[in-house]
Amino acid sequence: MQDIRSVLSQFHSKKKKKDSDVQKSGTGPHAEASASEIPDIFFDDVLRKVKLTRHEITALMFLYRQVWCRPNLYRSHGIGPLNSYTEMAAFLHISTEELAQNIRSLENYGFIETVRSGQYFVRKFFTEELDTKFGQDYDQFF
């Protein structure tokens, strides 16, 4: 008869597989801390002039990091990868209705534009005026 440990070692824990899937996606908790480069103008100028809610800031930073701080095929155009609303809402810990409302609000401020549902153009310096001031232009994608 086989040793019980050798039998159990043949089965893999579902929990470990789930954690490794989260790690591959790049959106879950990581073993090592990472840093993202956010322009100081966001903290010095944008946050003082525009009264954003906590959820709006969180959504904006999520999209900004996707476009400008992580490997991205359309980075030169300022366009992020396609997102699932339900996955994005779950990651941000808000409902899909709140997420949609926050996206609309960010569009009204001019920080982002919807390319198609779940895919967004995000300005490098947050507003058209600041992009012009700092010489940021985007290749014509649309």
Q: Encode pLDDT of 25-62 as tens digits.
A: 455 555 567 788 999 999 999 999 999 999 999 999 99
CA–CA dist 91, 84 (Å, integer): 11
The pLDDT value recorded for residue 39 is 92
Coil, strand or helix: which one is 115? strand
The string of pLDDT tens digits covering residues 101-142 is 999 999 999 999 999 999 999 999 999 999 999 988 887 654
Coil, strand or helix: which one is 79? strand
CATH number of 40-133: 1.10.10.10
CA–CA dist 4, 34 (Å, integer): 41
The pLDDT value recorded for residue 28 is 55
The string of pLDDT tens digits covering residues 1-32 is 567 777 667 776 665 554 444 444 455 555 56
Write the DSSP symbol of residue 1: -
